[in-house]
């Protein structure tokens, strides 16, 4: 069983459109949406939720007004600025429990917080493991790890060949959690200066965690000079650029129709994505 | 006055809007642009300001003096992040798990724990005329964005107009960035992905209790659903930017919209006036 995670650094480069297309093209796989705080893959795959679980993670401090003597020690020691006027701001509290440990009158309790839901769903393309982080919650990395674990168990149980993962943007906690231990990272970029900058950083993260990478340039003809820059940069770094997808409204039209683009159109975009998926199994065997 | 530019979904045009708004205003006002997308900061790719100040960001991690340590285990017991483990005659610190809360050093009964800074990112500053840029960057491989975001926000001077470029998503880095703002401008696109992520971002803003308004980017593709949603939720649509390959082309080259197409300057000034009016109206309500 091999795990391909699709990342980009910069948001909005086309990760979800590509993953939904792979869902349509690949046999024997389980799909995962690791973008747990702004998940979109379900809008194209139309899952039927089979299993829903609450995700309890992290704790938040709570001050009992009746016991509090307003000595101010907790406020003075909290490094996250989470206590003001002897009240905890749950959005600022990082759950360290320092205040709970030091309160001289035991007026502070640490309460578990429900920070989201995880789902195992069925789609016409196979299983989808996804989640919804509660609004403004922490611990997205742990929820990502849980979603990946769900997918691994299904892949093992059903003897599936691939786990195909739609990753979050950025390079921080949820990206690291999506990436560590994966077989291959497919990096979807665009020929903008921001796209290139962000690609370089996400390549750095993949290297840091020892995950091999493959690059795909979306909207390549928006700025062919920049596409060449990406290709020469990748060439120098020993990274293969495996697909050039043209700038074409069919990608957005397919999203509006709620379909993977490979099912919506049969033009150059679809051909490139099909060719890209054909390359990946060979890369995974290495 | 502090205006955050956020989106939920990545790649909708936050940086395009934030930079053009800041540039338009800087003709007449002192403006600070804070790039709090510390995983992938892109604002200066459009602004091209020379960075003239660079400050490393450190997170305080424990340093144990084992000559005095009795291996009592108190530090490991109070650490909420499993960042420190006490073996029979050895203390292990896991720096990347440490949030720097300070509980272990404060609570060590033998006072054997001091703190040392671990560099995990940088805050950079540059300016030109009325415009000052402050951008944060986490080091590649680092998971935690909030400590760097907090350092960037320390540069806020309330005498200025402050525009903040917010990271994508709805989790802790977004909340850390947006809290304390007077207004949140939400940039979206008229697709089901844009709508889904906009509605999540609106929930964050409502939780933080501040007024908001919407910019719809790439109008002309997709549908009317975002417009209908805003109408239903009584959220003002303050600007519409058409789907225009020329705009995308300028962005790809790192040219701000108001420089590539100067006629937009007036639209951004009008946008700012509308934001001020909404803030004033929300004060009246309060």
List of residues 6+ apart from A111 with CB closer than 8 A: A59, A60, A61, A62
Q: Report chain A residues whose CB lies below 8 A from the CB of B254.
A: 192-194
Q: Of all residues in chain A, what percent carry a pLDDT higher than 90?
A: 95
CB contact under 8 A, A12 and B9: yes
The string of DSSP letters for chain A reads -EEEEEE-SSTTSSHHHHHHHHHHH-SSEEEEE--TTS--HHHHH-PEEEEEEEEEEEEEEEE-TTT-----HHHHH-TT--EETTEE-TTT-----HHHHH-TT--EEEEEEEEEEEEEEEETTEEEEEEEEPTT-S-HHHHHHHHHHHHHHHHHHHT-SEEEEEPPSSSSHHHHHHHTT-SEEEEEE-SSHHHHHHHHHHHHHHHHTT--EEEEETTGGG-HHHHHHHHHHHHHHT-EEEEE----THHHHHHHHTS-HHHH--SHHHHHHHHHHHHHHHHHH-
B142 plus B248 within the same structural domain = yes
- Comparing alpha-carbon positions, the chain A residue that sits nearest to B195 is A40
CA distance A143 to A236: 36
CB contact under 8 A, B101 and A80: yes
Query: Which CATH number does the domain housing residue A36 bear?
Result: 3.40.50.300
Q: Report chain B residues whose CB lies below 8 A from the CB of A75.
A: none
Distance, C-alpha A113 to centroid of its chain: 22
B141 plus B258 within the same structural domain = yes
Q: What band does A175 get if pLDDT is binned at 50, 70 and 90?
A: very high
| A223 touching B (Cβ < 8 Å) | yes
Overall domain count for chain A: 2
pLDDT in tens, A148-164: 999 999 999 999 999 99
Query: Which CATH number does the domain housing residue A110 bear?
Result: 3.30.70.20
B225 plus B200 within the same structural domain = yes
Residue A52 lies in a domain: no
Of A69, A90, A114, at which residue does a domain stop? A114
CA distance A228 to A104: 64
Token representation of residue A10: 């910069």
B97 plus B205 within the same structural domain = no
- Cβ neighbours of A254 (radius 10 Å): 23
A140 plus A99 within the same structural domain = no
A180 plus A77 within the same structural domain = no
Handedness of CA B272, B231, B175, A9 (dihedral sign): negative
B109 plus B192 within the same structural domain = no
Q: What band does A137 get if pLDDT is binned at 50, 70 and 90?
A: confident
B115 plus B256 within the same structural domain = no
CA distance A184 to chain B (A): 17
CB contact under 8 A, B39 and A175: yes
- Comparing alpha-carbon positions, the chain A residue that sits nearest to B250 is A192
The pLDDT of residue B286: 63
Overall domain count for chain B: 2
CA distance B186 to chain A (A): 14
| A282 touching B (Cβ < 8 Å) | no
Start-to-end C-alpha separation, chain B? 17
Where in the sequence is the domain holding A20, given as residue range(s)? 2-46+124-285
CB contact under 8 A, B9 and A205: no
A189 plus A85 within the same structural domain = no
Res A9 pLDDT > 90? yes
B43 plus B81 within the same structural domain = no
B70 plus B196 within the same structural domain = no
Residues in chain B predicted with pLDDT less than 50, given as ranges, are: none
CA distance A10 to chain B (A): 7
A137 plus A189 within the same structural domain = yes
The pLDDT of residue B189: 96
DSSP symbol at B96: G
- Comparing alpha-carbon positions, the chain B residue that sits nearest to A196 is B252
CA distance A228 to A219: 13
Mutate to test the interface with A, among B5, B7, B40 (most CBs of A within 10 A): B40
Token representation of residue A206: 């993949």
A86 plus A131 within the same structural domain = no
CB contact under 8 A, B144 and A38: no
CA distance B85 to B101: 16
Mean pLDDT of the residues in chain A: 96
Residue A119 lies in a domain: no
CB contact under 8 A, A191 and B78: no
A172 plus A79 within the same structural domain = no
B39 plus B66 within the same structural domain = no
Phi-psi category of B220—alpha, beta or left, where left has phi over 0 and alpha has psi -120 to 50? left
Where in the sequence is the domain holding B95, given as residue range(s)? 58-119
B203 plus B242 within the same structural domain = yes
A31 plus A165 within the same structural domain = yes
Res A181 pLDDT > 80? yes
A12 plus A103 within the same structural domain = no
pLDDT in tens, A86-117: 999 998 999 999 999 999 999 999 999 999 99
Q: Find the mean pLDDT for residues A140-153.
A: 96
Q: Does residue A219 contact residue A43 with C-beta atoms inside 8 Å? A: no
| A173 touching B (Cβ < 8 Å) | yes
CB contact under 8 A, B200 and A92: no
Q: Does residue A141 contact residue A44 with C-beta atoms inside 8 Å? A: no
pLDDT in tens, B70-129: 999 999 999 999 999 999 999 999 999 999 999 999 999 999 999 999 999 999 999 999
CB contact under 8 A, B200 and A192: no
Of B119, B134, B159, at which residue does a domain stop? B119
Mutate to test the interface with B, among A6, A10, A12, A111 (most CBs of B within 10 A): A12
Q: Report chain A residues whose CB lies below 8 A from the CB of B251.
A: 192, 194
The pLDDT of residue A136: 82
Of B68, B99, B119, at which residue does a domain stop? B119
CA distance B21 to chain A (A): 18
B8 plus B74 within the same structural domain = no
The pLDDT of residue A266: 94
Residue B212 three-state SS: strand
CA distance B235 to B213: 6
Residue A55 lies in a domain: no
A98 plus A218 within the same structural domain = no
- Residue B191 C-beta-side C-alpha neighbours within 13 Å: 27
A169 plus A243 within the same structural domain = yes
B77 plus B127 within the same structural domain = no
A148 plus A217 within the same structural domain = yes
A39 plus A134 within the same structural domain = yes
Residue B54 three-state SS: strand
């Amino acid at each position: 069983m091999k795990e391909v995670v699709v990342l980009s650094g910069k948001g909005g480069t086309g990760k979800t459109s590509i993953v939904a297309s792979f869902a349509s093209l690949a046999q024997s796989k389980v799909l995962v949406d690791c973008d747990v705080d702004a998940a979109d893959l379900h809008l194209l795959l139309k899952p039927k939720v089979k299993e829903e679980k609450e995700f309890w993670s992290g704790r938040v401090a709570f001050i009992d007004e009746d016991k509090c003597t307003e000595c101010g020690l907790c406020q003075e020691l909290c490094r996250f600025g989470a206590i003001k006027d002897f009240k905890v701001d749950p959005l600022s509290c990082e759950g360290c429990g320092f205040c709970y440990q030091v309160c001289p009158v035991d007026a502070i309790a640490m309460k578990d917080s429900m920070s989201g839901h995880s789902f195992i769903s069925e789609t016409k393309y196979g299983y989808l493991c996804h989640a919804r982080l509660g609004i403004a919650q922490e611990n997205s990395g742990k929820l990502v790890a849980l979603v990946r674990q769900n997918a691994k168990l299904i892949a093992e149980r059903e003897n599936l060949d691939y786990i195909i993962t739609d990753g979050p943007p950025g390079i921080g906690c949820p990206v690291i959690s999506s990436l560590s231990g994966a077989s291959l990272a497919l990096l979807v970029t665009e020929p903008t200066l921001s796209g290139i900058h962000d690609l370089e950083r996400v390549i750095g993260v993949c290297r840091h965690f020892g995950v091999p990478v493959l690059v795909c340039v979306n909207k390549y003809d928006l700025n062919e000079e920049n596409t060449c820059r990406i290709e020469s940069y990748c060439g120098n770094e020993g990274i293969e650029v495996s697909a050039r997808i043209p700038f074409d409204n069919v990608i957005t039209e397919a999203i509006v129709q709620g379909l993977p683009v490979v099912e919506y159109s049969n033009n150059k975009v679809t051909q490139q994505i099909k060719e890209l998926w054909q390359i990946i199994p060979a890369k995974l065997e290495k | 006055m502090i205006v955050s530019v956020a989106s939920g979904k990545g790649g909708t045009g936050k940086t395009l809007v934030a930079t053009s708004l800041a540039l338009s205003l800087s003709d007449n006002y002192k403006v600070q642009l804070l790039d709090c997308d510390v995983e992938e900061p892109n604002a200066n790719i459009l602004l091209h300001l020379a960075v003239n100040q660079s400050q490393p960001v450190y997170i305080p991690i424990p340093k144990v003096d084992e000559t005095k340590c009795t291996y009592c285990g108190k530090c490991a017991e109070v650490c909420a992040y499993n960042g420190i483990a006490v073996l029979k005659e050895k203390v292990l610190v896991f720096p990347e798990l440490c949030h720097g809360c300070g509980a272990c050093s404060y609570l060590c009964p033998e006072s054997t724990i001091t703190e040392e800074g671990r560099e995990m990112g940088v805050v950079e500053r540059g300016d030109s005329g009325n415009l000052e840029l402050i951008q944060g960057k986490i080091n590649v491989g680092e998971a935690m964005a909030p400590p760097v975001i907090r350092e960037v926000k320390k540069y806020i001077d309330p005498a200025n107009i402050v525009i903040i470029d917010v990271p994508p998503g709805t989790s802790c880095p977004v909340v850390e960035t947006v809290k304390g703002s007077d207004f949140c401008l939400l940039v979206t696109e008229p697709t089901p992905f844009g709508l889904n992520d906009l509605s999540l971002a609106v929930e964050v803003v409502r939780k933080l209790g501040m007024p908001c308004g919407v910019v719809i980017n790439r109008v002309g593709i997709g549908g009317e659903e975002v417009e209908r949603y805003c109408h239903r939720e009584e959220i003002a649509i303050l600007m519409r930017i058409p789907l225009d390959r020329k705009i995308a082309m300028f962005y790809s080259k790192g040219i701000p919209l108001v420089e590539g197409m100067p006629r937009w300057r007036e639209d951004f000034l009008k946008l700012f006036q509308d934001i001020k009016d909404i803030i004033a109206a929300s004060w009246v309500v309060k």
